[in-house]
Structure 1
Amino acid sequence: MRNLKRALLFFIFLIIALVGGFFIYRSYQKPNYEGAISLKNIKNQTTVYFDEFGVPHIYAKNTKEAMIALGYVHAQDRLWQMELLRRIVPGRLSEIFGSVALKNDKFFVGLGIEEASQNAILKLDKKSPAYQLTMAYLDGINQYVQEGVTPVEFQLLGIEKQKFTIQDVYNIFGYMSFSFAMAQKTDPLLTDIRNKYGMDYLKDFGLDGKFNTTRIKIAKQRPQEYEAISKSIASLLDQSPVAPFVGSNSWVLSPQKTKNKKVIFANDPHIGFSQPGTWYEAHIETPDFELYGCYLAGAPFPLLGHNREYAYGLTMFENDDVDFYQEINNPKNSNQYQTKNGFKDYEIRKKIIKVKDSSDVVLNIKVSQHGPVMNDLLVGLKSDKPVAMSWIYTQQPIHSIEALYALSHSKSITDFQKGVALIAAPGLNVMYGDAKGNVGWWATGKLYKHSNAVNTNFILDGSNGKDDTLEYFDFSKNPSAVNPSWNYVYSANNQPESIDGFAYPGYYLPEDRAKRITQLLDAKSYWDRNAVGEMINDNTSIIAPEVVKNLFSALNLKSFSKTETEILHILKTWRGSNNLKDVGPTIYNKWIFLYLKNTFQDELGDEAFKQFLGTHIMKQIVARQIANENSPWWDNVTTKNTKENRSQIITKSFEEAIAALEKQLGENPYDWTWGKVHSVEYQHPIGKVALFRPFFNVGPFEISGSNEVINNQFFDFVDDGFYKVKGGPSSRRVIDFSDIENSWGILPTGQSGNPFSSHYRDQVELYNSGKFRKMKLNKKEIIQSSTKLVFYPLKN
């Protein structure tokens, strides 16, 4: 008994020690939101007020000192995220994650982003404000790296902190730019379909843009197997520890459309969800400058921002800025490839990838006149000819920091437009509104077109020069609208109108969101902040009910069971909403998935079908192909001596949907609510380990919204019918120039990437319920609700 008591006391003391140790460690790990810190390279006291959501409001005597403070506080909340982002492009994830990250490293190290970054840095004007402020921001990061607490992720993975450089900044912008591209997921897949089945099978895909009826109005040889390219690149982006950009909504209302006769600006960039989230908010004020911005980790200037004078944001343009070329090697020398002028030597880039707990991997990357050869960079690409990737980002001058400096420091709409013109890639829709009543939209990117005979939806011929002829356009030819007569500008990743008879090719999203946005905006002119806030959380598809009608028209059942009758009633009365208690979206999405599977999987095969589901082409095709009774896709090519038709496929899919939902959710259709199958979990890379998941991940939560509604909480179709949201609005902002100090914002989880911070997940309930918090500009109000951190000059 005495030994038992001793063991029990020892166990109790052990628990107390562990709990006490945890609280001590947590206190040590928490970001420093108050107190005093000495910093090098500042001459004046700089004060940072952290508001109740952890947003730093930085007050400094000059912008350089403000940028040093920004770098420091950004690093203390997001150093782990900065570390991940800067490792992607140079292929350094394997150093910390081991061979599981090797595929990712081999691909990105081969793209040429690092070399393009180096060339851009060599050409920088070292005396320019953009460069000087970037270096000040890096100074602040590095002072934290040197003196601040080592994040828990570094300790778990054994990472040593290292200084950040301007090369890291450019590499981060390069990764962001690649994640916007869509051709790498689409062109190879379409080429395989054409080679196997012919062009008739592609008529339903709307490659000529005929599906893009809601357009942004302007005010001005032997088949090769390429599906592996789509599969590999899509898989790399999906499994990346840093989420890719996907889509976005934005609209800016002129004074004539608003109740208070001032511009209202709305923006919600759609990005894959991760924890921490994409954006870090910060507010800077100096005697001659003020800006409230949303920053990428490791980026000195915000991509989204506003102040008392103007606001700006972005969506994806979805233009085609990536082309694939099939090269032909010299049969006598594999280090040469054919051009119109004869054989030419490949450029060889030697890269060494360090792999944790393993030997180094050496790559000799071949680069043709079109770009890097992908065959050795992607798993499963079995083409016997090399395929090179041409990407505008690595071929045009890169002015990332100059462009973002210009956007964030503009004095007028004219200044702002000059900054937009500096962006060669990625293709963005940059949105603008100001206190003077101006609204504007510009598509960025160095736009070009091939000769008329070239179809850039397919892999091109790199051997004879016929597919190489490009005509580059001046920025003045980019789609845009400034102060249009219809009194608003908007973008939902849909195609813009033609300019000079030329429609820019791209991978535009279907018209669902665009049609809903224009429907709502055209309907009234007395908009206020509350109404715009409701609109940015809108969950209704006006396309889905039309699709349901087409499905019904093809449905052929001899008799209806009670369950079938109830389901048909639910769908007939469904208005396209995707709220938690709705049943309609549960039935609709299951039916749509099985229709897609029964229509396309037999021709494509399992793997290519899965890739097809991840493309914008799939989203474009649903509403139109269902209505086409003569589509060749209806026939199941695996059944001999029979030819299936539209009615058979849609009826079969309906019956299978009911059976699957009964098995999944029970026999009562009214219990099949959307919240039971549509959920989100914000995942940290270390949260993939089950032991750490509750600590690092945030969620899961039931969530409203769906694919291609304004509240675009998007997911992949899956057999089990549980739709795990992959991404959505990475920030929601509503900026009202009639009450600029009370403009609204919200992040999916929280400001901090430090799991010990109280701001790691403190916005998630507001976000999931469609609510907002203030983006504060009023200093008196900020001080009343904030903690205070003071930076003093370091005394020698």
Structure 2
Amino acid sequence: MEELLNIAKNAFPQVSGTETIKGIEDEVEILWDKWGVPHIYARSMEDAYFTQGYIHASHRLWQLETFRRFTSGTLSEIIGAAMVDQDKHYRIIGLHRIAKKCVANLRKDPNNETLRSLKSYVAGVNAGIEKASTNLPVEFAVLNIKPEKWSLEDSLKIMSYIEWGLGGWSYTLELLRENLITKLGVEMADKIIPLYSGANVDIGKGSNGWVVSPNKSESGAVLFANDPHLPLMLPAIWILMHLSCPELNTIGSSFPGVPSVVLGHNEKIAWGATTVTSDNVDLFKLELNPENENQYKYNGEWIDFEVMDEPIAIQNRDQPIDFKVKISKFGPVMEYIELQREVIKISLPDKYALHWTSYDVNLDDTIEGFRTINSASNWSEFRKALSKMTVTPQNFIYGDIEGNIGHQHGGKLPLRKYGDGATVTPGTDEKFNWSGLVPFEKMFSIFNPEHGFVYTANYNEDKAPNGVFIAQDRAKPYRQMRIKSLLQSKEVFTIQDFINYQLDLFTMEAEELLPKMLKYVKVKANTEVQKEIIELLENWDYFLTKNSVAGIVYKIWYQEILRAILIPLIGIELFEVYLTSNPFEIERLFKLFEEKDELEDTLFRAFENTIKFLTEKFSSDFTKWKWGDIHKVVLTHPFSQVNEEAKMLNIGPFKIGGDGNTLWNGSYDPTDEYKVIVGPSYRQIHDLSDWDKSIGVIPGGQAGLPFHKHYNDLMKLWVKGKYIPLLFTRKAISENLEGTFKLIPQ
């Protein structure tokens, strides 16, 4: 272990000094503040992006390597056969094919500014890889591998991976409905989850965002808050960064592998985003030729699949395994379902092709969109940048130093000729396919509303604003309801108010559902402990803190009710596959019972099972049950899953409150001991009266290098609800300096 520690420390990059380097035109200065945030001062945009790539590679090289292999379907090559299904799944989706198409599109115009910026970024990544090659991060040493050169395709693969993570969720619900219809018939399936009117689901990944006008801000300027909720991983998804050059001056969160600041502010505007719960993916049921498995029916004829050879190399095997991807007119034929980063073989007998908006667009346009957002100075320029976006639609929120606020959908939505995407679509004729994409002009937009604020938390209050259909299914409404109630609760807000709101643990879900659950069991309580627990629940303030006794009883009881009702109907396997996304609504399930007594008995048995579970796990004294004792976050290093000693590379566990329906999102996996899997991946709050008042934090640290001082320092703040200053002026940065590093052109 001492040897590995030395290897790890040798990989730490310099933060003070100079380095002569190829690839830049002029000297670049990097001011590192004491929280590990680099502030890049360059004399051209190309040099700024080069330096961004260089820093991404210097501090997050292992993350870049895993992202590249994840998106290429080549993890088996370094990890082994355990990753074959994962690799097959991503070969089928074809992020590498999308990237290749996008790069070809970019190269059509050699003077394209996005191409130039991307080339500069890629050159910077490769300079960072070359610099690190003599002292690679410890993960490379353990696996005895070396990183290959970075490419334009690698950055576009990562862009498409981000897009798949945001928009690829909805096909799983189509498969759930297909499973239920196959197993139980249409009528019963519709009673369990609505087939035609849509369900409210725990999409896991989500976000909060809100902005208030100057007349509602104590400082007299726009006040802004945003926190995207994404998988909690190690290293953190984001790395904070400040890019300054003649063309732009921007600070915020960047995504390793992709240039620009994704969420943040420049000198004139602040922006953030939450995902629109849109349906950008459809499954089409194919009719295969019974005499030729390589053909399917289309427009009344048997036609051949396009077959792609995708050999998969596996660690410690001489020869790759053969794997073929079949592609139809609708898209690739799916073999797996993906839920919470786990892939599971589709068990249904039919074959389904996937159509995704990313197959119909150029994702390089999204890189162009973010590049132009970074330098936008007003609402008009901001919207023009958003019009380029080709990702799953995002709720972009906006504020500027002139006092304007706004909310604009940016991204692409499909125009369907048939069906609404909630259930599987027939795949035998072109008439069932999409007719195109919704034009930007028809997307939802609001600017300077009279009530003085905008807000979003993934829930689509209108399924079809401006006549544009978004989706039947949508995120649960509770976070959005809570934001709205808080913004209506007072006339003037401060930064501290917005901090309190981002850390808010009030559960409107429990406030709505718990009284309805209790009314069925109160009369059946027959022990003092049961009566005392019911009294505790009745008097709960609905704050789901880590020390909440009522909170842990409610959360476990909720799961036990789902288990008691659904497993007899759909089976344990299907139940556990979909439990984390939980598209099941308890009140809808209550209606399955014709007799009130039967419902009361079911809920009371679930209540008894809850008490039994918590007693056996913790104590017979229910006052010692705490939500945080089971609801914990651990940032897990991949090596720790196969090596006990490597657990020292993990960060945590930390007890936290909340769940997927509180503003402090703590989405968890009930099939994995309630482990927290999704949370605020970047908190940002801006008072536009003074950019140096901006604050933010990410879970983990800036460095992806084990044992580095900035490997886990920000996680300790994140857990406590603390922030760091997002310093913007050179004076403020200089007063909090850790080091100055200069890149000198060779």
TM-score by length of 2: 0.93
Q: How large is the Cα RMSD of the aligned pairs?
A: 2.4
**2:93 paired with 1:111:** yes
Counterpart pick for 1:279 among 233, 238, 242 = 238
Helix, strand or coil at the partner of 2:302: strand
Q: CA deviation at 1:392?
A: 1.1
Worse-superposed segment, 574-583 or 457-466: 457-466
Which amino acid is 1:781 matched to? A
Percent sequence identity over matched residues? 27
1:88-167 aligned within 5 A: 88-124=70-106, 125-148=109-132, 149-167=135-153
Q: Conserved in 1, the CA contact under 8 Å of 2:637 and 2:647?
A: no
Cα displacement string for residues 305-331 of structure 1 (whole angstroms, at most 9, x for unaligned residues): 212211112111120111111111223
Q: CA deviation at 1:699?
A: 0.7
Helix, strand or coil at the partner of 2:85: helix
Counterpart pick for 2:254 among 283, 295, 302 = 295
- Alignment partner, residue 182 of structure 2: 195
CA change 1:464–1:100 in 2 (3 A) is same
Q: Conserved in 2, the CA contact under 8 Å of 1:545 and 1:574?
A: no
Separation (CA, whole Å) in 2 of partners of 1:376 and 1:723? 24
Q: Conserved in 1, the CA contact under 8 Å of 2:227 and 2:682?
A: yes
Separation (CA, whole Å) in 1 of partners of 2:465 and 2:362? 25
1:603-752 aligned within 5 A: 603-618=569-584, 621-622=585-586, 624-625=587-588, 628=590, 631-632=591-592, 634=593, 645-718=598-671, 722-752=673-703
Worse-superposed segment, 555-564 or 510-519: 555-564
Counterpart pick for 1:423 among 378, 389, 402 = 389
Q: Conserved in 2, the CA contact under 8 Å of 1:318 and 1:506?
A: no
Which amino acid is 1:625 matched to? R
Which amino acid is 2:567 matched to? Q
- Alignment partner, residue 395 of structure 1: 360
Which amino acid is 1:256 matched to? N
Q: CA deviation at 1:697?
A: 0.7
Q: CA deviation at 1:708?
A: 1.0
Counterpart pick for 1:784 among 735, 739, 744 = 735
Q: CA deviation at 1:332?
A: 3.1
Counterpart pick for 1:763 among 709, 714, 722 = 714
Cα displacement string for residues 247-282 of structure 1 (whole angstroms, at most 9, x for unaligned residues): 111111122321222111111111111110100111
Separation (CA, whole Å) in 1 of partners of 2:362 and 2:49? 26
Q: CA deviation at 1:607?
A: 1.0
Worse-superposed segment, 785-794 or 418-427: 785-794
Separation (CA, whole Å) in 2 of partners of 1:500 and 1:304? 27
- Alignment partner, residue 493 of structure 2: 527
- Alignment partner, residue 220 of structure 1: none
Counterpart pick for 1:516 among 475, 482, 492 = 482
- Alignment partner, residue 10 of structure 1: none
- Alignment partner, residue 566 of structure 1: 532
Cα displacement string for residues 723-764 of structure 1 (whole angstroms, at most 9, x for unaligned residues): 211120001110110221121101111111011310000112
Q: Conserved in 2, the CA contact under 8 Å of 1:579 and 1:674?
A: yes
Worse-superposed segment, 127-136 or 192-201: 192-201
Q: Conserved in 2, the CA contact under 8 Å of 1:327 and 1:386?
A: yes
Helix, strand or coil at the partner of 2:251: strand
Q: Conserved in 2, the CA contact under 8 Å of 1:271 and 1:730?
A: yes
Separation (CA, whole Å) in 1 of partners of 2:525 and 2:559? 24
Which amino acid is 2:372 matched to? A
Separation (CA, whole Å) in 1 of partners of 2:524 and 2:351? 54
Which amino acid is 1:657 matched to? T
Q: CA deviation at 1:383?
A: 4.0
Helix, strand or coil at the partner of 2:323: strand
- Alignment partner, residue 310 of structure 2: 351
Q: Conserved in 1, the CA contact under 8 Å of 2:163 and 2:392?
A: yes
Which amino acid is 1:581 matched to? N
Which amino acid is 1:131 matched to? L
Worse-superposed segment, 466-475 or 414-423: 466-475
Q: CA deviation at 1:556?
A: 5.5
Cα displacement string for residues 379-398 of structure 1 (whole angstroms, at most 9, x for unaligned residues): 64344432111111112233
Separation (CA, whole Å) in 1 of partners of 2:45 and 2:435? 42
Q: Conserved in 1, the CA contact under 8 Å of 2:230 and 2:679?
A: yes
CA change 1:643–1:787 in 2 (3 A) is closer
Q: Which runs of 4+ in 1 moved over 6 A?
A: 210-213
CA change 1:35–1:466 in 2 (3 A) is same
Structure 1 unaligned residues grouped into runs of 5+: 1-17, 214-233, 235-243, 636-641
Cα displacement string for residues 513-568 of structure 1 (whole angstroms, at most 9, x for unaligned residues): 01111010111121111110110110111230221110112125445322112101
Which amino acid is 1:251 matched to? W
Q: CA deviation at 1:172?
A: 0.3
- Alignment partner, residue 3 of structure 1: none
Helix, strand or coil at the partner of 2:205: strand
Q: Conserved in 1, the CA contact under 8 Å of 2:200 and 2:473?
A: no
1:63-102 aligned within 5 A: 63-102=45-84
1:8-47 aligned within 5 A: 24-47=6-29
Which amino acid is 1:182 matched to? W
Helix, strand or coil at the partner of 1:195: helix
Q: CA deviation at 1:118?
A: 1.4
CA change 1:325–1:360 in 2 (3 A) is same
Separation (CA, whole Å) in 1 of partners of 2:8 and 2:192? 57
**2:548 paired with 1:585:** no
- Alignment partner, residue 438 of structure 1: 404
- Alignment partner, residue 340 of structure 2: none
Q: Conserved in 1, the CA contact under 8 Å of 2:219 and 2:687?
A: no
Separation (CA, whole Å) in 2 of partners of 1:770 and 1:537? 6
Q: CA deviation at 1:208?
A: 5.0
Helix, strand or coil at the partner of 1:89: helix
CA change 1:367–1:437 in 2 (3 A) is same
Q: Conserved in 2, the CA contact under 8 Å of 1:557 and 1:651?
A: no
Q: Conserved in 2, the CA contact under 8 Å of 1:29 and 1:756?
A: no
1:180-259 aligned within 5 A: 180=166, 181-197=168-184, 198-203=186-191, 205-206=193-194, 209=197, 246-259=205-218
Separation (CA, whole Å) in 2 of partners of 1:757 and 1:424? 37
Helix, strand or coil at the partner of 2:367: helix
Which amino acid is 2:218 matched to? K
Question: Rg bigger for which structure?
Answer: 1
Q: Conserved in 2, the CA contact under 8 Å of 1:150 and 1:161?
A: no
Separation (CA, whole Å) in 2 of partners of 1:427 and 1:194? 30
Q: CA deviation at 1:427?
A: 2.5
Q: CA deviation at 1:502?
A: 5.5
Separation (CA, whole Å) in 2 of partners of 1:424 and 1:140? 26
Separation (CA, whole Å) in 2 of partners of 1:716 and 1:133? 40
Helix, strand or coil at the partner of 1:545: helix
Which amino acid is 2:208 matched to? N
1:363-402 aligned within 5 A: 363-375=323-335, 380-398=345-363, 399-402=365-368
Aligned length: 732
- Alignment partner, residue 15 of structure 1: none
Q: Conserved in 2, the CA contact under 8 Å of 1:31 and 1:757?
A: no
Separation (CA, whole Å) in 2 of partners of 1:62 and 1:690? 46
CA change 1:715–1:782 in 2 (3 A) is same
CA change 1:606–1:23 in 2 (3 A) is closer
Separation (CA, whole Å) in 1 of partners of 2:316 and 2:626? 47
Separation (CA, whole Å) in 2 of partners of 1:615 and 1:559? 31
Counterpart pick for 1:499 among 457, 461, 465 = 465
Separation (CA, whole Å) in 1 of partners of 2:422 and 2:548? 38
Cα displacement string for residues 679-701 of structure 1 (whole angstroms, at most 9, x for unaligned residues): 11001111213334333210111
Q: Conserved in 2, the CA contact under 8 Å of 1:507 and 1:616?
A: no
CA change 1:650–1:478 in 2 (3 A) is same
Q: Conserved in 1, the CA contact under 8 Å of 2:444 and 2:466?
A: no
Which amino acid is 1:184 matched to? Y
